[in-house]
Structure 1
C-alpha cells in the first residue's frame, strides 16, 4: 500500500449495496449536509471506483442481484 492511499475491503455484495446507495444519494441535492465540498467529492469518487469495479449494475438481472445482496448484507433479525 502506498503511503498516500488507504484501502477499504468490501465483499462484492457490500460493494453492490454501497454503489446503489451512493447512486441514489449523489443524484439528490445534499448540499446542506456537507461541511465542505471535499466530503461530497469523496462520495462521488467512491461511486466512480465502484462503477469501474462492478459489472453487476450493467446486467439484465441487476435488480435480483441487488435484492440478494441486500438480503445477505442486512443484519439478521433476532428473536
Structure 2
C-alpha cells in the first residue's frame, strides 16, 4: 500500500466544532477512549492541522463562535 494522502474537506463550522472536540479528547487518557494506539497519531495530526487552520481558536469571542457553529450544525427538530 502506498503512502498517498487523503484530503478531507470541512466547513469552517465543522472544523471549529471538530477541533474543540478533538482538543477535549486529547486532554483525556486516550487509551480509555481509543483502544488502538495506532489511531492516536492520526488524531493528533488532524487536531494539529485544525489548530493551524483556525484563527478563531484565539479569538476573544471563541466560546460564542463555537456555540454558534454548534447551533448551525445541529439537526433541526
TM-score with structure 1 setting the length: 0.87
For residue 66 of structure 2, what is the aligned residue in structure 1?
A: 66
Q: Say what the alpha-carbon RMSD is for the aligned residues.
A: 1.3
Q: Which runs of 5+ in 1 are unaligned?
A: none
**Distance (whole Å) between structure 2 residues aligned to residue 67 and residue 32 of structure 1:** 27
For residue 41 of structure 2, what is the aligned residue in structure 1?
A: 41
Correspondence list, 1:1-79, <5 A: 4-77=4-77
String of CA shifts for 1:10-59, please: whole Å, max 9, x gaps: 00000000000000011000204434312011111100000000000100
Runs of 4+ in 1 over 6 A off after TM superposition: none
**Distance (whole Å) between structure 1 residues aligned to residue 48 and residue 33 of structure 2:** 20
Q: Which runs of 5+ in 2 are unaligned?
A: none
